[in-house]
Structure 1
Amino acid sequence: MLATHTDHVPVGEGWHHEVKWDGVRVLVDVVDGRTRMLSRNGNVVTAAWPDLAEPPLGERDLLVDGEVIALNDRGIPDFRVLQHRMHVRKASDATRLAEQIPATLMVFDLLRLDGEDLTGRPLAERRRLLEGLELSETRWQVPAVYDDGQMLWDATGQQGLEGVVSKRLTSRYRFDTRSKDWLKRAHRHRGSFVVGGWRPQVGTSDRLAALLVGEPTAEGLLYRGRVGSGITGATARMLQERLAPLHLAASPFADEVPRVDALGTTWVEPVVVVDIDTHGLGYDRLRQPSFQGVRTDLTPEDLS
């Protein structure tokens, strides 16, 4: 179940409010003591998270919805920290990275328990059952909820957290549905965009230095700007390896890319989604954009 964007935090006794975590969304399915972790697009990602795959309740049957998070050097959950882990499938590499970048699973919903489907029950009841599992001493944590959404909005802004998710207490859980029973409001001007090309470092022809990104619309992929900030070293090499097989002979953008950006660009098939931070929203071009990471859990269709 996905939250709908909102420009205000709802008020009233019918809602509770949670911190909006800057991490990777997963469903975690435990059957007979074996864990399967699924990304938003249904891929099995268990191998990437060996530190979270051990079920804290042993062989007890359950299905939970949550967010994998890791902290940056300021102690704030940060998606960029996770990007070095989320693509790993080799067991030895995953174990090494788990020691270097420990992750936590923030469990915010309980969908099945002891073989019983809970999705038809109201959120308030699912939440009570979730809190009763007593996960506090494990790598799985149940985040706090608050009655005062405005207070949480102010506090998350002051603490540098991403924002707030507000959930209607009577809401039932619906898989693969974006619902207005769950509302999200973010402090950061961060968005997901589709890569349509890359530009090389000045003086070279083969060293990636910037991405050209666009927004999927009914008119096609519309150009939103060039992003170079945040792309250095290992990140540039990772992006270049990911984009190399996607070469196109012509621009995939539906509108015209300015010549200053198009000159020297290698065009690519528009299938890779990235997160970009920008100063200000509502502009045709991203303002002071900064690359934040590749979103393997999203597709261009998710952004439409």
Structure 2
Amino acid sequence: MMAALGPMPSGPSWSYEMKWDGIRVIAEVDADGCRLWSRNSRDVSAGYPELLGLANDAGLRLPAVLDGEIVTLDENGAPSFGLLQRRMHVRDPRQLTQLIKQVPVSVRVFDVLRFDGKSLLEATYDARRGLLDSLELTDPFWEVPQAYADGEEALELSASTGLEGVVAKRRKSRYLSGKRSSDWVKVKPVLTRDVILCGWHPGEGNREGKIGSLYCGAYDGDDLVLIGKVGSGLDFAMLEILSAELAALEIDTPPFDVTSVPATDRRAAHWLDPLLVAEVTYSGWAADGRLRHPVWRGLRLDIDPQSVTR
């Protein structure tokens, strides 16, 4: 069962869970062991041998089927899909011996579909969640996160801890295998921040000859650093305004270290004296220190660029 993207539903008929930035996994556990299946029905058990001990957990009554997300945490304790990619597709036992230590993984369990051999697909979310909360799993790699009654509280907690958002789940809903349903709604936090305009990249298609995207920076101590590029949200009227504003700010050399910018992009870029500030929305920070999904909101001529920090 998959969630549909939408606005936050509210009211007593909904429960709210954190959205984890990882790999969806279905765990089938029986007397023969534990098998892990990806969302596209591929057996990924060999890639995560440390997770297979669930078959010996006294907290489960077998056969059982659990639904969850494989995650790995960064140095701040937030899930990092970038780090997790180092584990994906690796099956060589020799490589895995090292990766298990370098990129440890665990599972956040958010549903139970079979327990003690009985299917729970027709049971309500409340019934399944109640059973899940009662499980006393002892395996350190498997964890049942908290569910919340207040959606806005959950969304605020998600944003403050670096998570992807929340999934609102209708409490009376059944589990619809393999289907996307409005009974589960994923809601992503919308964050805003100021950025310094440091350059622009030419557009293509209907933006040919115009600004395609803008390089965004912020100060990290005394150093100006690149924190992303924004192109979404720029309409043609704003592009005309920006073209006039930025023409007088063009400089020959980039205002920050551009080693992370591909050479072909560097050659095409127009660099700017970092004097203009804009506001963008974004969904969080990527592992490389860049803004995730930035969207243009507008110029902020009232903001001193020196006050815009990472």
TM-score (norm 1): 0.61
Kept after mapping to 1: 8 A contact 2:22/2:71: yes
Q: How many angstroms does 1:188 deviate by?
A: 6.8
Question: Structure 1's 79 and 64: CA in aligned 2 closer, same or farther, altered over 3 A?
Answer: same
Structure-1 separation of matches of 2:16 and 2:49: 30
Structure-2 separation of matches of 1:281 and 1:69: 30
Residue of structure 2 in register with 1:280 after alignment = 295
Q: What amino acid sits opposite 1:17 in the alignment?
A: Y
Select which of 60, 75, 78 maps to 2:77.
75
Structure-2 separation of matches of 1:184 and 1:132: 25
The answer as to 2:32 corresponding to 1:42 is: no
Residue of structure 1 in register with 2:109 after alignment = 107
Kept after mapping to 2: 8 A contact 1:67/1:105: yes
Between 92-101 and 63-72, the greater mean CA deviation after superposition: 92-101
Residue of structure 2 in register with 1:22 after alignment = 21
Aligned-pair identity (%): 38
Give the 3-state SS of the residue equivalent to 1:84 in structure 2. coil
The answer as to 2:93 corresponding to 1:91 is: yes
Q: What amino acid sits opposite 1:25 in the alignment?
A: R
Kept after mapping to 1: 8 A contact 2:57/2:139: no
Query: What residue ranges of structure 2 are gaps of 5+ in the alignment?
Result: 192-257, 263-267, 269-290, 298-310
The answer as to 2:162 corresponding to 1:147 is: no
Give the 3-state SS of the residue equivalent to 1:160 in structure 2. coil
Residue of structure 1 in register with 2:121 after alignment = 119
Question: Structure 1's 150 and 120: CA in aligned 2 closer, same or farther, altered over 3 A?
Answer: same
Question: Structure 1's 65 and 188: CA in aligned 2 closer, same or farther, altered over 3 A?
Answer: farther
Over aligned residue pairs, what C-alpha RMSD do you find?
2.6
Structure-2 separation of matches of 1:281 and 1:98: 40
Residue of structure 2 in register with 1:248 after alignment = none
Structure-2 separation of matches of 1:168 and 1:185: 14
Kept after mapping to 1: 8 A contact 2:57/2:138: no
Structure-1 separation of matches of 2:86 and 2:126: 36
Residue of structure 1 in register with 2:282 after alignment = none
Structure-1 separation of matches of 2:44 and 2:169: 27
Kept after mapping to 1: 8 A contact 2:62/2:117: no
Between 31-40 and 52-61, the greater mean CA deviation after superposition: 52-61
Superposed CA deviations along residues 88-127 of structure 1, whole A, max 9, x for unmatched, are 1112222321121111100100000111111110011111
Query: What residue ranges of structure 1 are gaps of 5+ in the alignment?
Result: 190-227, 233-259, 261-275, 283-304
Residue of structure 2 in register with 1:128 after alignment = 130
Q: How many angstroms does 1:70 deviate by?
A: 0.7
Give the 3-state SS of the residue equivalent to 1:51 in structure 2. helix
Give the 3-state SS of the residue equivalent to 1:54 in structure 2. helix
Kept after mapping to 1: 8 A contact 2:53/2:139: no
Structure-1 separation of matches of 2:131 and 2:261: 44
Moved over 6 A (4+): 228-232
Residue of structure 1 in register with 2:283 after alignment = none
Kept after mapping to 2: 8 A contact 1:47/1:94: no
Question: Structure 1's 281 and 120: CA in aligned 2 closer, same or farther, altered over 3 A?
Answer: farther
Equivalences for residues 176-191 of structure 1 within 5 A: 176-187=178-189
Question: Structure 1's 172 and 83: CA in aligned 2 closer, same or farther, altered over 3 A?
Answer: same
Give the 3-state SS of the residue equivalent to 1:86 in structure 2. coil
Question: Structure 1's 47 and 14: CA in aligned 2 closer, same or farther, altered over 3 A?
Answer: same
Residue of structure 1 in register with 2:171 after alignment = 169
Kept after mapping to 2: 8 A contact 1:62/1:113: yes
Q: How many angstroms does 1:230 deviate by?
A: 7.2
Residue of structure 2 in register with 1:3 after alignment = 3
Give the 3-state SS of the residue equivalent to 1:30 in structure 2. strand
* Higher gyration radius (CA): 2
